[in-house]
Structure 1
């Protein structure tokens, strides 16, 4: 892929969606890794057939759809099973992302991925933008949004890269600890720079 691609990432509750929504309002195509991950396991997709072949019919409902909670329980209790699942899904996800990014018709495109570095998807992008927020804000936002206990949010945070690891790897950082208007102004400032960089 020769197009100029920005990778946008951030921990749970950091405000990634608010940021990518504003980039979209500015005319930039956003390709979402989470949506790609859902698409590749829809009925009729080769990845779903491979998952059923490996894990058995217990991971499918009566309509042949993936039972995510059942699969999640299996893979999070056994690292070898998680690796087996990733070996099935990661190539399919990457292929979907590459296809959608190549088809993007904006001056540059965005790959939004919560696990940009951990998944190796950062290899697809020219520059990375971290949406950053203090941990107490992440926990408060995510538990209010998802109706999940702060304890569960903390467990998710521990499973992801630390804030320090992300800050050390990011090319650009957008701190989201204020108002939505301030966040959107930050997006617009970065967007002007990215337009310039993508056109050279």
Structure 2
């Protein structure tokens, strides 16, 4: 099975690109979805988060209060590393299980969607990496619109990741998402024909 890492910056459109790729026939494993799964009530990772950060990071129903936890870890790099030390191994284990099932099912191509592939040094886990790209000012506007955040907070979140221009240089394939949703669909379809469909027909 060909496993392709799909990454980009915050609000770059990774999820939108993944939806289009799924429609074209790829399997998709989303790290953000796995991250939500591993901190569900009853999961070991959630218990360890409460041990490290206190019961104040929980909602009244026992679920994780992401906003409360986010306020702690975004302001404190050491706290963020502690959180990553809890969640990343749990996410990796679940990802390996999901990919193993897809491989056993005979799936030809799977995209693993994750924002921090380069930052976390995970490049070696994939056959290749595709980057969903847009310029920083467009990224800033979309993040502010998406989250309702002010410019200062949005810039801080963008600054916590590798700059988009650097990721663009590192990706085997770059998907430009600077335009409309229709532009993105056309771009992904074009790249799919070139990178996936053509390779599949050659191997057949």
The change in CA–CA distance for 1:140 and 1:29 in structure 2 (over 3 A counts) is: same
Per the alignment, residue 169 of structure 2 pairs with 168
> Does 2:72 correspond to 1:74?
yes
For the residues of structure 2 that align with 1:79 and 1:179, how far apart are their CA atoms? 35
Query: TM-score, length-normalised on structure 1?
Result: 0.88
Give 1:62's match in structure 2, choosing from 60, 80, 99.
60
Per the alignment, residue 182 of structure 1 pairs with 183
Q: Does the CA contact (< 8 Å) of 1:36 and 1:93 recur in 2?
A: yes
> Does 2:129 correspond to 1:128?
yes
> Does 2:45 correspond to 1:47?
yes
For the residues of structure 2 that align with 1:89 and 1:197, how far apart are their CA atoms? 35
Query: TM-score, length-normalised on structure 2?
Result: 0.87
Per the alignment, residue 156 of structure 1 pairs with 157
2:174 aligns to what SS in structure 1? strand
The structural deviation recorded for 1:126 is 0.7
The structural deviation recorded for 1:197 is 4.1
- Per-residue displacement from partner, 1:120-173 (whole Å, max 9, x unpaired)? 333321111111111121122222233222332211111110122212211111
The change in CA–CA distance for 1:58 and 1:170 in structure 2 (over 3 A counts) is: same
The structural deviation recorded for 1:90 is 0.7
For the residues of structure 2 that align with 1:146 and 1:83, how far apart are their CA atoms? 24
Per the alignment, residue 111 of structure 1 pairs with 112
Unaligned runs of 5+ in 1: none
Displaced runs of 4 or more, over 6 A: none
Unaligned runs of 5+ in 2: none
| TM-align CA RMSD | 2.0
Per the alignment, residue 30 of structure 1 pairs with 28
Per the alignment, residue 194 of structure 1 pairs with 196
Q: Does the CA contact (< 8 Å) of 1:7 and 1:112 recur in 2?
A: yes
